[in-house]
Amino acid sequence: VNVDRFEVRLYEIYENNLVNFLDDNRLAYENNYETEEDYRYGYSRYIRISDYGKQIYTNTYRFDSSHYNQVQTTPIHVKKEAQRRFRGIFAMQVEYPDQEWGYEEETRVISLSDLGLIAKKGEDEYRIFVNRLSTAQPQACVRVRLHSRTIQIVAEGLTDAS
pLDDT per residue as tens digits for the range 44-63: 445 788 889 999 888 888 87
pLDDT at 136 over 70: yes
Say what the pTM is.
0.68
Q: What is the structure's pLDDT at 43?
A: 42
**Residues found in the chain:** 162
pLDDT at 161 over 60: yes
Per-residue pLDDT tens digits for 3-56? 778 889 989 999 888 888 877 766 444 444 455 544 444 444 457 888 899 998
pLDDT at 101 over 70: no
Q: Is the dihedral of CA 85, 87, 88, 89 positive or negative?
A: positive
Burial of 6: CB neighbours in 10 Å, binned 0-12, 13-18, 19+: buried
Q: What is the structure's pLDDT at 104?
A: 77
Q: Do 140 and 160 contact (CB within 8 A), yes or no?
A: yes
CA distance 13 to 7: 19
What is the distance between the terminal CA atoms of the chain, rounded to a whole angstrom?
A: 50
CA distance 118 to 113: 14
- The H-assigned helical ranges of the chain are 18-29, 36-41, 79-84
